[in-house]
């Protein structure tokens, strides 16, 4: 089944306006009117990319590609330089498989189980609600499990979002073993022939050994009912935190078998360049990005559309 593709380019472009200002506008100002690009100008371009949360290694790679291209071409116009940088950024996302559309084989694995991990405050709960809405719009039945049982606010918030999305929720009292919630959610999904299961998890990254133990236990109990589960483990990152999001991706990759990223709160932040740094370092595909607070504002991620939106001048 092909998923509902929630991609609004105008909304994406508008949401990335501050990132555009930090990256593209500064690049344009630096190279505008320059007939030649001496070494100091290239160093300035490199500095702009580094300070735009794209990351040192990625910035070096892009400037090296610009140098090579300029040596082999007579066209050293502003448009061609920007086009080269843009193509290099797309290539970074392509290497992390963010180029490929997310097409889960629901029929093969039904119920298709997705674990949602991430630190508290990154937007896990709202992501689950918005993602449930996207799945439901594709004609799929969805159930969510509130396995972050240590925060009462998390359960309450997830219940609100489940109602907004019009999907079922399994929740228990605070302090309940999270794995029991996961078990019950999957059991209910099997019994009621539900297509997609999403399970919220606690985000206590400061205690990695406990988090690993908890995630492993959740995985074990759902695998007793469904082989090869979970089919996906999505890490939710707050794009507004910049370098901190990079560190979170590194730490969570040590305790969870991550398969994809959801990057939230990209609207109104100048730190959208962090998407490239995370993809480059972790080689994990971005599946969805958040560009607003409404239930329809979790958009499907497409590499070309994302880079086009950053570089768009209209």
Condensed to tens digits (0 to 9), the pLDDT of residues 19-62 reads: 988 888 888 888 876 656 667 788 888 899 988 889 898 899 88
Q: What is the pLDDT of residue 35?
A: 59
Q: How confident is the model at residue 99 (pLDDT cuts 50, 70, 90)?
A: confident
The mean per-residue pLDDT over the stretch 200-206 comes to 77
Q: What is the pLDDT of residue 283?
A: 86
Q: Distance between alpha carbon 88 and the CA centroid of its chain, in Å?
A: 20
C-alpha to C-alpha distance for 222 and 181, rounded to whole angstroms: 10
Q: Is residue 205's pLDDT more than 80?
A: no
C-alpha to C-alpha distance for 58 and 99, rounded to whole angstroms: 17
C-alpha to C-alpha distance for 186 and 194, rounded to whole angstroms: 9
Least confident of 35-49, 229-243, 248-262, 271-285: 35-49
Q: What is the pLDDT of residue 74?
A: 67
C-alpha to C-alpha distance for 101 and 145, rounded to whole angstroms: 26
Q: Is residue 78's pLDDT more than 90?
A: no
C-alpha to C-alpha distance for 304 and 259, rounded to whole angstroms: 21
Higher pLDDT, 142 or 210: 142
Is residue 69 within 8 A of residue 84, CB to CB? The reply is yes
Q: Which two tokens stand for residue 75?
A: 């066209």
Q: What is the pLDDT of residue 255?
A: 83
Q: What is the pLDDT of residue 95?
A: 85
C-alpha to C-alpha distance for 52 and 79, rounded to whole angstroms: 20
Q: What's the pLDDT tens digit per position in 243-259?
A: 888 888 988 888 889 99
Q: What is the pLDDT of residue 186?
A: 96
Q: What is the pLDDT of residue 55?
A: 86
The mean per-residue pLDDT over the stretch 133-157 comes to 88
How does the average pLDDT of the chain come out, rounded?
87
Q: What is the pLDDT of residue 4?
A: 60
The backbone region for 174, taken as left when phi is positive above 0, alpha when psi lies in -120 to 50, beta otherwise, is beta
Percent of the chain's residues with pLDDT above 70? 94
Q: Is residue 206's pLDDT more than 70?
A: no
Q: Is residue 154's pLDDT more than 80?
A: no
Q: What is the pLDDT of residue 32?
A: 78
Q: Distance between alpha carbon 264 and the CA centroid of its chain, in Å?
A: 7
Percent of the chain's residues with pLDDT above 90? 36
Q: How confident is the model at residue 1 (pLDDT cuts 50, 70, 90)?
A: low
3-state helix, strand, coil in the chain (%, to 5): 55, 10, 35
Is residue 290 within 8 A of residue 297, CB to CB? The reply is yes
Q: Is residue 93's pLDDT more than 70?
A: yes
């Amino acid at each position: 089944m092909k998923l509902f593709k929630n991609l609004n380019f105008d909304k994406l472009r508008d949401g990335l306006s501050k990132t555009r200002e930090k990256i593209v506008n500064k690049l344009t100002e630096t190279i505008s009117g320059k007939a030649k690009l001496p070494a100091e100008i290239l160093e300035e371009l490199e500095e702009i990319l580094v300070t735009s949360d794209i990351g040192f290694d990625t910035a070096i790679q892009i400037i090296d590609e610009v140098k090579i291209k300029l040596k082999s071409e007579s066209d050293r116009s502003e448009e061609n330089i920007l086009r080269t940088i843009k193509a290099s950024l797309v290539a970074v996302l392509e290497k992390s498989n963010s180029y490929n559309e997310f097409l889960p084989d629901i029929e093969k694995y039904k119920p298709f189980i997705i674990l949602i991990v991430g630190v508290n405050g990154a937007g896990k709960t709202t992501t689950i609600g918005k993602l449930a809405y996207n799945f439901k719009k594709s004609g799929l039945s969805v159930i969510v499990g509130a396995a972050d049982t240590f925060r009462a606010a998390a359960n309450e918030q997830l219940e609100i979002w489940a109602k907004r999305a019009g999907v079922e929720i399994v929740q228990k009292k605070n302090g309940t073993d999270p794995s029991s919630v996961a078990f019950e959610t999957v059991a209910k999904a099997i019994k009621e022939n539900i297509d997609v299961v999403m399970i919220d998890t606690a985000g206590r990254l400061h205690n990695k050994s406990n988090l690993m133990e908890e995630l492993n236990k959740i995985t074990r109990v759902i695998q007793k009912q469904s082989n090869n589960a979970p089919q996906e483990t999505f890490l939710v990152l707050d794009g507004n935190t910049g370098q901190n999001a990079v560190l979170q991706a590194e730490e969570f990759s040590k305790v969870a078998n991550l398969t994809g990223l959801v990057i939230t709160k990209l609207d109104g932040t100048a730190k959208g360049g962090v998407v490239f740094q995370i993809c480059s370092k972790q080689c994990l595909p971005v599946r969805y990005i958040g560009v607003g607070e409404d239930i329809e504002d979790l958009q499907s991620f497409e590499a070309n559309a994302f880079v086009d939106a950053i570089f768009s001048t209209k």
